Amino acid sequence: MKNKGLTKVDLIFESTDVRKVMKKAFEMTSNEIIEQILESGLKGRGGAGFPTGLKWKYTAAEKEPEKYIVCNADEGEPGTFKDREILDKAAAKVYAGMAIAGKAMGARKGFIYLRGEYRFLLPQLYVELHKFHKLINEIGYDFSIEYRMGSGAYICGEESALFESIEGFRGEPRNKPPYPTVSGLFSKPTSINNVETLVTAMMIIEKGAGEYVKLGTKDSRGSKVFSISGDTPIPGIFELELGMTVQEFVNEFGDGDTKAVQVGGASGFCVPRKKFSETIIGFEGVPTGGSMKLFNSSRSMYNVLHNYLEFFTEESCGQCTPCRVGCQQLYKGIEMVKKGESKSTYLNELVKLADTMKVASKCGLGQSVGNAFRSIVENFREEIIY
């Protein structure tokens, strides 16, 4: 596999004439928009990586007259803060992206589910929203957006739990199927997309899919905004072309002593130094919603894992057995091993449990706890035990 090296780009935050892009989109047919997005190969930027074009296509195919486009701005993954920056700097593009998605699917109504801790952004977001509504009115297109606030639960970033939360219920994931594209918010066909996905989709309509596919790799097209934190001299938000290796990433952002990078937050994977050069950041290697956390040799990977498990133990909605109890068992289990109260071989049982959680949990939360667990335990076993 040929990697592309590390290239900084500036697409998400560059200034754009959103009026022009929206007008262009509104003149296209629904099919033409979806075709462009499909051709671009854009995958969801929230982390799960579902092809955005397909999501829109499925939603568009539903006969129901009432449909919704929901922007997931719950941004709860530990170490992710890029959506805040995008909303702060480029809210108009998010709104335009939603309008374009709405046009593609036949939705006249959009909701933005904003992370509770981002409430401070609301005044300026409303100013921008007011401008957007005025603009879309001038263009003569029927589409409006409303904000809904989260209340701090990580699980509400899971799409169906997010719908429950908007609908006024306890934020718990639903059984799937039916998928949101068939029965989502208020049981209507719904496309739910991450903040960055919507901006990227708008950009693709602006520049054309042909232009976009020039960036990235076959499985990971385009560029992506990364939230970089941990042991790095330059923490912050960076937009990078997809396809670099972890080594190239570390060369740029590491402090010279990086021993591991947690890619994709607490629900992502831990890449140890020995695998830096063989691991590509993207869907062919380790996917990420943007969170990149660097750890240098002063960090105890036991503490890192312990912290993640404490987080999951707290943030599991508690609905399904594998996740609710599994998280507690992993959390308490590594404590017992560390204290020497359980044998080190108990870690093997815990890895098997993490595998069960991956296949038997109801939603992505429980299914991904095993990612960090397995990758940290397998690569830093000594640090967990001793």
129 Cβ contact list (under 8 Å, min separation 6): 91, 95, 145, 147
Residues in the site for other proteins, rule: CB under 8 A? 153, 155, 170, 172, 175, 177, 312-322, 324-329, 332-333, 336, 342, 349, 352-353, 356, 358-362, 367
Q: How far is the CB of 360 from other proteins (least distance, A)?
A: 5
CB of 326 to other proteins, least distance (A): 6
The alpha carbon dihedral of 361, 366, 372, 378 has a sign of negative
By beta-carbon proximity to other proteins, the closer residue of 28 and 336 is 336
Give min distance, CB of 223 to other proteins, in A: 27
Closest approach, Cβ 354 to other proteins, in A, equals 10
- The answer to whether residues 316 and 172 touch, using CB atoms and an 8 Å cutoff, is no
H or E stretch including 191?
strand 190-194
- Judged by beta carbon, residue 205 or residue 353, the one nearer other proteins is 353
Q: What are phi and psi of 246, to 5 degrees?
A: -60, -35
Q: Which residue has the tokens 């912050």?
A: 236
HSE of 27, CA atoms in CB hemisphere, 13 A: 9
Q: Which residue has the tokens 């133990």?
A: 313
Q: Which is nearer to other proteins, 63 or 339 (CB)?
A: 339
Q: Which is nearer to other proteins, 312 or 373 (CB)?
A: 312
* Three-class SS state of 211: helix
The amino acid at residue 209 is: A
- Pairwise CA distance, residues 104 & 110, whole Å: 13
Rounded to 5, what percent of the chain is helix, strand, coil? Answer: 50, 15, 35
Q: Are strands 190-194 and 68-73 parallel, antiparallel or unpaired?
A: parallel
| CB of 190 vs other proteins, minimal distance in Å | 19
Residue 280 or 365: the one with the smaller Cβ distance to other proteins is 365
Smallest gap from residue 30 Cβ to other proteins (A): 27
Q: Please state the closest distance from residue 359 (CB atom) to other proteins, in A.
A: 5
C-beta closer to other proteins: residue 296 or 328: 328
Our CB check for other proteins shows the closer of 142 and 314 to be: 314
